[in-house]
């Protein structure tokens, strides 16, 4: 084997992104401990990995301390969709903050390298477009999204403080909207929402007039970026944007999905929720320069894979 086998902990490993990451790390020849409390993730996302002797599934809540001898930690545990993170806002912020403290403590103890899955939400409703990593954001500290946005911002602070104070080997990535197979059917995120509505012949619900834009990256591109960041040169901490700069309006996305599914669903316009950012697009120059990374999967290809997945679980 060309790579040196590492022992890698993935928190939130039974979630959408985590399950793809675990899968890829095993393919790359590593040993993986997948830790999850199954709040939004599920065993079914990793069931195909259970026969692999290098894969270990652990039911554990990241807000409680956890001990394991590992070389690397990917900290993904946290509900990511507004429906789920607002369900128990206090638990969400605890997961981000106490989860970060527990995992940083573990990394310090066993001298592991640790990567934080942060988010473009740290930019809030940005006044700068597209967003560079040096932009500090425009975030409401007391709104209904704050449990997630501020929790993730505080986790970034903790990562930086452990790095400065304890010389911990940390990495921070800011993930922009990601989609792909194994997204939770009920989480209300736009790509899965539109696909499920189209496949079930229900109205496609657009919040606002549909002119707000988002950029969508396919999960395989993200996983490649995460692994490159984790294995980047020591001392390069980030934060680094990992996302696809290709921008689409919600209306364009809905129309594309209607066309690809051949659905006769109609578009229904609903009021825009509070604090919904109007525009979000990553600047990825830093990732291109430092990681030689850029997204490669076209929206049509990614959507086609995702539509196939949802066809299977809906039928
Ligand atoms: N999907 C995106 O577009 C996106 C964008 C930015 C950042 N992220 C970040 O990436 C990570 C993974 O997101 P995802 O889209 O796969 O979401 P997800 O909800 O599918 O995955 C999160 C996983 O964490 C687990 N979890 C939640 N609370 C936990 C706790 N207290 N202890 C242990 N496990 C817990 C859930 O059960 C789930 O398996 C999250 O940290 C999220 O904030 C995702």
Residue 274 has pLDDT above 80, yes or no: no
Confidence of residue 3 (pLDDT cuts 50, 70, 90): low
With respect to residue 265, please indicate whether it lies within any of the assigned structural domains: no
With respect to residue 195, please indicate whether it lies within any of the assigned structural domains: no
Shortest-distance Cα residue to atom 26 of ligand 1: 77
- Counting from 1 in the atom list of ligand 1, the atom nearest the Cα of 61 is 32
58 by DSSP, 3-state: which? strand
CA–CA separation, 180 and 171 (whole Å): 24
Shortest-distance Cα residue to atom 34 of ligand 1: 36
pLDDT given for residue 61 in this prediction: 98
3-state secondary structure 68-129: CCCCEEEECCCCCCHHHHHHCHHHHHHHHHHHHHHHHHHHHHHCCEEEEEEEHHHHECCCCC
With respect to residue 127, please indicate whether it lies within any of the assigned structural domains: yes
pTM metric for this prediction? 0.95
CA–CA separation, 42 and 79 (whole Å): 12
β-strands 213-215, 247-249 pairing: antiparallel
With respect to residue 261, please indicate whether it lies within any of the assigned structural domains: no
When pLDDT is averaged across residues 196-206 and rounded to a whole number, the result is: 95
When pLDDT is averaged across residues 287-291 and rounded to a whole number, the result is: 98
CA–CA separation, 99 and 76 (whole Å): 9
pLDDT given for residue 226 in this prediction: 98
User: Ligand 1: distance of its center to the CA of 210 in Å?
Assistant: 26
User: Ligand 1: distance of its center to the CA of 41 in Å?
Assistant: 8
Residue 222 has pLDDT above 80, yes or no: yes
Task: State whether the beta carbon of 74 lies less than 6 angstroms from ligand 1.
Answer: no
- Compute φ and ψ for 54, nearest 5 degrees: -90, 5
Task: State whether the beta carbon of 95 lies less than 6 angstroms from ligand 1.
Answer: yes
CATH number of the domain enclosing 23: 3.40.50.720
When pLDDT is averaged across residues 53-61 and rounded to a whole number, the result is: 98
- Counting from 1 in the atom list of ligand 1, the atom nearest the Cα of 175 is 6
Q: H or E element: which one contains 240?
A: strand 240-242
The first and second tokens of residue 280, run together, are 């979000």
pLDDT given for residue 277 in this prediction: 65
User: Ligand 1: distance of its center to the CA of 33 in Å?
Assistant: 16
3-state secondary structure 151-164: HHHHHHHHHHHHHH
- Domain housing 171: 7-182+217-245+281-295
Residue 64 has pLDDT above 70, yes or no: yes
With respect to residue 308, please indicate whether it lies within any of the assigned structural domains: no
pLDDT tens across 177-191, in order? 999 999 998 888 899
pLDDT tens across 151-179, in order? 999 999 999 999 999 999 999 999 999 99
- Counting from 1 in the atom list of ligand 1, the atom nearest the Cα of 62 is 32
Q: H or E element: which one contains 212?
A: none
User: Ligand 1: distance of its center to the CA of 5 in Å?
Assistant: 25
Torsion angle of alpha carbons 141, 147, 153, 158, nearest 10°?
120
With respect to residue 155, please indicate whether it lies within any of the assigned structural domains: yes
Task: State whether the beta carbon of 14 lies less than 6 angstroms from ligand 1.
Answer: yes
Torsion angle of alpha carbons 131, 136, 141, 146, nearest 10°?
40
User: Ligand 1: distance of its center to the CA of 290 in Å?
Assistant: 25
Domains: count for the chain: 1
Task: State whether the beta carbon of 12 lies less than 6 angstroms from ligand 1.
Answer: yes
pLDDT given for residue 187 in this prediction: 83
With respect to residue 251, please indicate whether it lies within any of the assigned structural domains: no
pLDDT given for residue 8 in this prediction: 98
pLDDT given for residue 212 in this prediction: 85
When pLDDT is averaged across residues 70-92 and rounded to a whole number, the result is: 96
Task: State whether the beta carbon of 40 lies less than 6 angstroms from ligand 1.
Answer: yes
CA–CA separation, 185 and 56 (whole Å): 25
CA–CA separation, 272 and 276 (whole Å): 7
Task: Please give the radius of gyration of the chain, using alpha carbons only, rounded to the nearest integer.
Answer: 19
Give percent above pLDDT 70 in the chain: 97
With respect to residue 274, please indicate whether it lies within any of the assigned structural domains: no
Q: Which of 258, 260, 281 lies closest to 268, judged by CA?
A: 258
Residue 228 has pLDDT above 80, yes or no: yes
pLDDT given for residue 1 in this prediction: 46
Give me the active site residues, please.
148
**CB of 101 closer than 8 Å to CB of 63:** no
pLDDT given for residue 213 in this prediction: 84
pLDDT given for residue 54 in this prediction: 98
């Amino acid at each position: 084997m060309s790579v040196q086998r590492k022992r890698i902990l993935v928190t939130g490993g039974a979630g959408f992104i985590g399950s793809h990451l675990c899968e890829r790390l095993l393919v790359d020849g590593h040993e993986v401990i997948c830790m999850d409390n199954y709040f939004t993730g599920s065993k079914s996302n990793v069931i195909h990995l259970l026969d692999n002797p290098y894969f270990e599934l652990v039911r554990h809540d990241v807000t409680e301390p956890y001990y394991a001898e590992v070389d690397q930690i990917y900290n993904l545990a946290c509900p990511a969709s507004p429906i789920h993170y607002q369900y128990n806002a206090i638990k969400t912020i605890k997961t981000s903050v106490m989860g970060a403290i527990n995992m940083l403590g573990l990394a310090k103890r066993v001298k592991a390298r640790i990567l934080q899955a942060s988010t473009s939400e740290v930019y809030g409703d940005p006044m700068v477009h597209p967003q560079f990593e040096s932009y500090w954001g425009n975030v409401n500290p007391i709104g209904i999204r704050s449990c997630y946005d501020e929790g993730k911002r505080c986790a970034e602070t903790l990562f930086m403080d452990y790095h400065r104070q304890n010389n911990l080997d940390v990495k921070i990535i800011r993930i922009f909207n990601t989609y792909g197979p194994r997204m939770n059917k009920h989480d209300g995120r736009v790509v899965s929402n539109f696909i499920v509505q189209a496949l079930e012949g229900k109205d496609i619900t657009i919040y606002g007039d549909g002119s707000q834009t988002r950029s969508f990256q396919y999960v395989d591109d993200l996983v490649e970026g995460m692994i490159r960041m984790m294995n980047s040169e020591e001392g390069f901490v980030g934060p680094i944007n990992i996302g696809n700069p290709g921008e689409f309006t919600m209306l364009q996305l809905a129309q594309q999905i209607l066309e690809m599914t051949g659905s006769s669903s109609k578009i229904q316009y609903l009021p825009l929720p509070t604090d919904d950012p109007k525009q979000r697009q990553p600047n990825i120059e830093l990732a291109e320069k430092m990681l030689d990374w850029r997204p490669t999967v076209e929206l049509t290809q990614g959507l086609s894979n995702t539509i196939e997945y949802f066809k299977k679980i809906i039928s």
